[in-house]
Structure 1
Amino acid sequence: MLRLIQSLRKYKYYKVRRGAIWLKLVTYVLPMDDLHIQSNQVTAARLGWVQDSWVVDVVLAQKWLIENKRMSFPHLLPTDMLTLLERGENELAMLREVVSSFHGMDLSPLSVEGESLALALQEVTLLAPLPNPKSVRDFYAFEQHVKTSRARRGLKMIPEWYEIPVFYFSNHHAIYGPEAGIKRPSYTKWLDFELEVACVIGKRGKNIPAEKAREYMVGFCIMNDWSARDVQKKEMEVGLGPAKGKDFATSLGPYLVTLDELEDRRVGEHWDLAMTAKVNGVQLSAGNLKDLYWSFAQMVERASSECELFPGDVIGSGTVGTGCILELGVEVHRWLEPGDVVELEVERLGILRNPIQ
C-alpha cells in the first residue's frame, strides 16, 4: 500500500515538475479487425497516441518500459479512452510519463509480447477518439451561423439567444470516426454537414463556474453534426426538436487533442483555430473557433447548472459561420448525396473525412 501511495504521489509531482506533454490521443483498430466495425463499437479497439507518423499503443508502450527500462507503475493503463478519463488526473499523468519516455525515440524496431509498439498511421483504422461518450450536448454558439440561417428562413434574430447558451442532446450511440461511411437516412432528401469543434469533459462536476471550466476540459476534437434538414424543419415548426433530424450520426475525430497542445493559440477563453469544410475537394466553408459568441467555459457552466457532468461527456460548439449547406444555400451546393465526400479541417485538430453512402 505504501508503494502504491508513493507511486501516485510521483505522478502528481511529475505533472507539475515536468510540465505538459502534448497528446494527440486516438482509438484505433488493426486492419485485421476492420470487418468487426459497427458504428465504432469495436471490442478490439485500442487506445494510442500519435507521434510523428506513428500510432503508438498505450498499453504495449507501458509494458515495454516495464520490461526494458525497469520503470514501475501502480497498474497498467486502460485499453480504452472512456476508462482513461474515468480514472482521473493521476491516470492522465501516468500516460504523460509513458508518452514522454518515448520522445525522440525511433519507434519502428520496438516490440513487446511479439507485437510492435507503433504502427504507421496509414496502416491502422482510426475510430472516433471517444467511440462511446456518456452524452453529447450540442450548443448553438456561433452568432454568424444563427443569424444567417434564420435570415434564410425569413426570421429575425431572437433576443433570447443572447441571454443564455442553448443546446440539445444528440444520440451518443450513433458515433462515427474518420473515413467511416455515413448512410443517408431513408427519410431525408436534404442531408447536410455541420463544421464544429467538440470539447470532451475529463472530470466530474456540478454547478461549474465559467472561470473554473477549463479544469474540467480534457481537450478538443472535430465534430460533424450530420443533419436531415427537411425532417429538422418539420420538427422545429412543431416547436420540439431537433430529434430525428439529428440522431442518426455524429462524427468525431480524428484525434482528441489535449488543451496543453493548444495553449499557444488560446486567447482568454477562446482558441484561434482556423476551420474549413470541403465537399468533393471544393472548399465551401471557412471560419475560426475564436469567433464563438458563447465560449466553451460558458457552455460548461450552463450544461453543469444543477446537473452533474461526467468524464466522457461531449460538448459541441454548434456550427461555425458558413459551416453548413443550410447557411450557404443550395445555390452554393446541393444537399449531400451518396458518393459525396465531406472533409472538415481544424488547425491542430486534423482532418475529419467521411464519405456519404
Structure 2
Amino acid sequence: MKLATYDNGRRDGQLMLVSKDLTKAMAVPAIANTMQQLLDTWELLQPQLQELYEALNTGLIDNAQAFDEMRCLSPLPRAYQWADGSAYVNHVELVRKARGAQMPDTFWTDPLVYQGGSDCFIGPKADIEMASEAFGIDFESEIAVITDDVAMGVSAEDAEQHIKLLMLVNDVSLRNLIPGELAKGFGFFQSKPSSAFSPVAVTPDELGDKWLDSKVHLPLVTHFNGELFGRPNAGVDMTFDFSQLVAHVAKTRPMAAGAIVGSGTISNYDRSAGSSCLAEKRMLETIEHGEATTAFMHFGDTVRIEMFDEQDNSIFGSIDQKVVQYQG
C-alpha cells in the first residue's frame, strides 16, 4: 500500500491513497483524514484501506485523480518523534578517520541515535531555506520507518512487526555548526534543521523480497545539481537493521504510533557506488589528497533523492529541493 499527504491548507494535510505506479490518488475521509489518524488506529483501518488500494490499482475507482507529487507534504508533516540513527558504521568510521580520531569498539555493537526536531518537517519539493551558506549546508540521503505503538523494552526480534511504513529522507545537516555543538557534550540541535521526507510512504510488502532482515536491499539514488552523486545499496554494510534501531530507541521509553526512525546516511565500503552526502565525499578527498575540494551547498544548488525497483519504477516518488536564502 502507498500513502501520501496533500497540502490542503491545514497543518496535518489530507491523507491520500496512491496507486502502486504513482499515477492515481484518492482521499479516504470515510476511513481517515490524516496519516496520524490512520496510524493511531492502524490495525482497524489498514484492512479497509488495503481493499480500496487493490481497487485503485485495478481501475475500479471512478473518482480517482491524477497523483501530483507537487501537492505533497511529507507523509507525516509533523510527528511525535523523529529519531535518526547512524546504522552505516563505515560512514562513522570514515568521519573519524578524516579527522584522525579513533573509533570506539562499542560503535559496532551499540547504535548511535540522535533525537531530531519533529514539529515542522518540510515537504519533498519545498526549498531548503537557510540564513547563511557559512553554516555548511549538506544533504543526507536516508531511509526511515514509521511505527505503530511500541512498548518500552521491545526486543529486536519483535520490533519488525511494529514497522508499518517506509519513506526516504533528506536529513539536512549544517556541518560547520556540528563541531561546536558536539564539543559541548550535549548533542545536535542548531546543526540539524527540519528534515524532508519522500512524497509517498509505503508498506514493507510493497518492496517484495527487497525488504529482507529489516533492511531495504535497493540502491538509493542521489543527484546533486542534476548530476549523479551516488547510488549505494541500502541493504549493504548496514550494521544495525531497522528492527535493532527501533529496539534501541524503545529501550527505556515507549514509542507512540507515528514515531519515525531513520537509518542515517546510506554508505557502502565500495566507494564506486558514490556517496549520500557531501561530507563523506569531502572526507574521502581529505584522506586521499590531504584536503577537501568539494564545497558544501550554495544558494541555488539542488538535490534529488529517489529509489527505483528492478523495473526502474520510482517507489516513493522523489525528494527534489533547492537551497535558497531565508528571507524571514
Q: Indicate the TM-score class for this superposition, using the shorter chain for normalisation.
A: 0.7 to 0.9
Deviations 1:215-248 (A, max 9, x none): 10012100111011111111112222111100x2
2:323 match: 356
1:80 match: 34
2:303 match: 342
2:166 match: 220
- Whichever residue aligns with residue 26 of structure 1, its letter is A
1:46 match: 14
User: Distance between the aligned counterparts of 1:188 and 1:123, measured in 2?
Assistant: 31
Unaligned runs of 5+ in 2: 268-274, 286-291, 309-314
Q: Does 1:261 align with 2:206?
A: yes
Q: Shift of the alpha carbon at 1:44? A: 7.8
Deviations 1:176-214 (A, max 9, x none): 121111102448431011111011012342211111111
- CA 1:353/1:165 → structure 2, altered by over 3 Å: closer, same or farther? same
Q: Shift of the alpha carbon at 1:285? A: 2.2
- CA 1:190/1:124 → structure 2, altered by over 3 Å: closer, same or farther? closer
Deviations 1:241-276 (A, max 9, x none): 111100x21011121110111131133232211112
User: Distance between the aligned counterparts of 1:44 and 1:315, measured in 2?
Assistant: 19
User: Distance between the aligned counterparts of 1:263 and 1:332, measured in 2?
Assistant: 40
Over aligned residue pairs, what C-alpha RMSD do you find? 2.0
- CA 1:226/1:80 → structure 2, altered by over 3 Å: closer, same or farther? same
Of 147-156 and 122-131, deviating more is 122-131
- CA 1:288/1:53 → structure 2, altered by over 3 Å: closer, same or farther? closer
- CA 1:45/1:266 → structure 2, altered by over 3 Å: closer, same or farther? closer
Deviations 1:64-91 (A, max 9, x none): xxxxxxxxxxxx2111000100012111
CA contact (8 A) 1:139 1:167 kept: yes
CA contact (8 A) 1:236 1:242 kept: yes
SS in 2 for 1:198: strand
CA contact (8 A) 2:82 2:259 kept: yes
- CA 1:302/1:270 → structure 2, altered by over 3 Å: closer, same or farther? same
User: Distance between the aligned counterparts of 2:69 and 2:231, measured in 1?
Assistant: 31
Question: TM-score with structure 1 length normalisation?
Answer: 0.79
Please give the residue correspondences for 1:18-57 in structure 2 after superposition, counting only pairs within 5 Å.
23-29=1-7, 36=9, 42-43=10-11, 45-51=13-19, 52-57=21-26
CA contact (8 A) 1:275 1:287 kept: yes
User: Distance between the aligned counterparts of 2:295 and 2:158, measured in 1?
Assistant: 43
The number of equivalent residue pairs is: 301
- CA 1:93/1:106 → structure 2, altered by over 3 Å: closer, same or farther? closer
Q: Does 1:175 align with 2:121?
A: yes
SS in 2 for 1:134: coil
CA contact (8 A) 2:25 2:67 kept: no
Deviations 1:125-154 (A, max 9, x none): 111011121110010110221111111222
- Whichever residue aligns with residue 265 of structure 1, its letter is K
Question: TM-score with structure 2 length normalisation?
Answer: 0.86
User: Distance between the aligned counterparts of 2:4 and 2:38, measured in 1?
Assistant: 12
1:323 match: 276
User: Distance between the aligned counterparts of 1:123 and 1:277, measured in 2?
Assistant: 18
- Whichever residue aligns with residue 296 of structure 2, its letter is W
Q: Shift of the alpha carbon at 1:158? A: 2.0
Deviations 1:319-341 (A, max 9, x none): 11222111111846311111111
- Whichever residue aligns with residue 25 of structure 2, its letter is V
Mark the structure with the bigger radius of gyration. 1
Please give the residue correspondences for 1:131-170 in structure 2 after superposition, counting only pairs within 5 Å.
131-170=77-116
User: Distance between the aligned counterparts of 2:3 and 2:281, measured in 1?
Assistant: 33
2:312 match: none
User: Distance between the aligned counterparts of 1:119 and 1:187, measured in 2?
Assistant: 40
SS in 1 for 2:6: strand
Query: Which residue of the other structure, out of 215, 221, 230, is the alignment partner of 1:285?
Result: 230
User: Distance between the aligned counterparts of 2:180 and 2:279, measured in 1?
Assistant: 15
Q: Shift of the alpha carbon at 1:47? A: 0.9
Q: Shift of the alpha carbon at 1:103? A: 3.2
Q: Does 1:244 align with 2:211?
A: no
2:180 match: 234
User: Distance between the aligned counterparts of 1:177 and 1:170, measured in 2?
Assistant: 16
SS in 1 for 2:206: helix
Q: Shift of the alpha carbon at 1:43? A: 4.4
- CA 1:53/1:172 → structure 2, altered by over 3 Å: closer, same or farther? closer
Structure 1 runs (4+) deviating above 6 angstroms are none
- Whichever residue aligns with residue 121 of structure 1, its letter is F
Unaligned runs of 5+ in 1: 1-22, 37-41, 61-75, 111-116
User: Distance between the aligned counterparts of 2:133 and 2:185, measured in 1?
Assistant: 20
User: Distance between the aligned counterparts of 2:174 and 2:152, measured in 1?
Assistant: 33
- CA 1:210/1:356 → structure 2, altered by over 3 Å: closer, same or farther? same
SS in 2 for 1:230: helix
